[in-house]
A and B are shown apart, each in its own frame.
Chain A
Amino acid sequence: MPDPIHQFDLHRILHINIGGWDLSFTNSALFMLLAVALTTLFFFVATQARALVPGRMQSVAEIAHDFVAGMVTESMGKGGMKFFPLVFTLFAFIFACNMLGMIPGAFTVTSHIAVTAALAALVFLTVIIVGFAKNGLGFLKLFAPSGIPLFIMPLIVLIEVISFLSRPLSHSIRLFANMLAGHIALKVFGGFVVMLLGAGAFSILAPLPLLMAIALTALEVLVAFVQAYVFTMLTCMYLNDALHPGH
């Protein structure tokens, strides 16, 4: 059976070795660069017109802005807009990487735990640093919700700390596992089509897994958007905890 796992292999395009560190330019780096280039190009061209009544392309850019700005102000209030560049960048990068992966034969950058873990670690460290910078030691009030009787406070604090530390884990694995599972499923059904075509009499059934693959592709396009949205939404919620600790 065709292997569904080898599509995630990294291939070095440009071998770069600096002092024993393998810093080669891989297919992952290529698609990350492509995602950044396409996003930047799109928003640059779309905002060139600067019309008061926007044309089609400028409308798309404005809708994207309002969508993320709405998310930010809903979670963090007015003061949250200073995090808007970070949040919008995360959303645009993850969305672009997920969508680029839907092109047949392309590489899905976010299907590697290294990439999603780096993004989640970025958010986690930002939350901790901003939390302590803004609130000092008052940031630790996050782990001691108000209105809890004193005698179970130690248990509650322990549970809150563990659930706080598990945030980057679930944050990164959610995006990674969704992309991985989606692409493995697509490859498996593609493999079924090939297997049926090579099975003589049964090749009449080959369109069936193809239809499933088409339906799965549609679902995966939706998942690409939803996972970018959920990653960004959770980022906003975690940043809100940094700005306003205490439930």
Chain B
Amino acid sequence: MDVGSAKLIGAGLAAIGMGFAAIGVGNLFGQYLNGALRNPSASDGQFGRLIFGFAVTEALGIFALLIAFLLLFT
């Protein structure tokens, strides 16, 4: 198998990793909504932490996408 084809297959495999990050992000928002429905007055105070947690979790998914892009474009 030549290098170009192997790179394309590798890029596809790397992109699968984003699915796990997606599960993490969904988990975060689900738990936040769960808590917000039980204790609505406390939800506004934690919103900043939610956004921060979302960004660092999403970053891991985007690291996987970065590997895919590196394989596709270099």
A177, A180, A181, A229: which contacts B51 (Cβ < 8 A)? A229
**Main SS class of interface, A:** helix
Docked-complex contact B69 and A184, CB < 8 angstroms: yes
Report the Cα distance A41→B53, complex, angstroms.
33
A177, A180, A233: which contacts B59 (Cβ < 8 A)? A177
Report the Cα distance A174→B57, complex, angstroms.
10
Report the Cα distance A234→B53, complex, angstroms.
11
Docked-complex contact B66 and A177, CB < 8 angstroms: yes
Q: Which residues of A contact B65 (CB under 8 A)?
A: 177, 181
The answer to whether the Cβ of B36 comes within 8 Å of any Cβ in the partner chain is: no
**Interface membership of chain B positions 59-74, coded 1 if the CB is closer than 8 angstroms to chain A and 0 otherwise:** 1001101100100010
Docked-complex contact B52 and A178, CB < 8 angstroms: no
- Also in contact, A233 and B66, with CB within 8 A (given A5-B73, A170-B59): no
Q: How far is the CB of A90 from chain B (nearest CB, A)?
A: 15
**Main SS class of interface, B:** helix
The answer to whether the Cβ of A108 comes within 8 Å of any Cβ in the partner chain is: no
Docked-complex contact B62 and A233, CB < 8 angstroms: no
**Interface membership of chain A positions 171-197, coded 1 if the CB is closer than 8 angstroms to chain B and 0 otherwise:** 001101110110010000000000000
Docked-complex contact B69 and A181, CB < 8 angstroms: yes
Q: How far is the CB of B54 from chain A (nearest CB, A)?
A: 8
User: Can you list 19 pairs linking A and B with CB atoms under 8 Å apart?
Assistant: A5-B73, A170-B59, A173-B59, A173-B66, A177-B62, A177-B63, A177-B66, A178-B58, A178-B59, A178-B62, A180-B66, A181-B62, A184-B69, A226-B51, A226-B55, A227-B55, A230-B51, A230-B52, A230-B55
Docked-complex contact A233 and B69, CB < 8 angstroms: no
Q: How far is the CB of A167 from chain B (nearest CB, A)?
A: 12
Q: How far is the CB of B23 from chain A (nearest CB, A)?
A: 19
- Give A8's nearest chain B residue, CB to CB: B73
* Chain B 25-51 interface residues, beta-carbon cutoff 8 Å to A: 51
The answer to whether the Cβ of B9 comes within 8 Å of any Cβ in the partner chain is: no
Q: Which residues of A contact B56 (CB under 8 A)?
A: 174, 230, 234
Docked-complex contact A180 and B69, CB < 8 angstroms: yes
Report the Cα distance A227→B52, complex, angstroms.
9
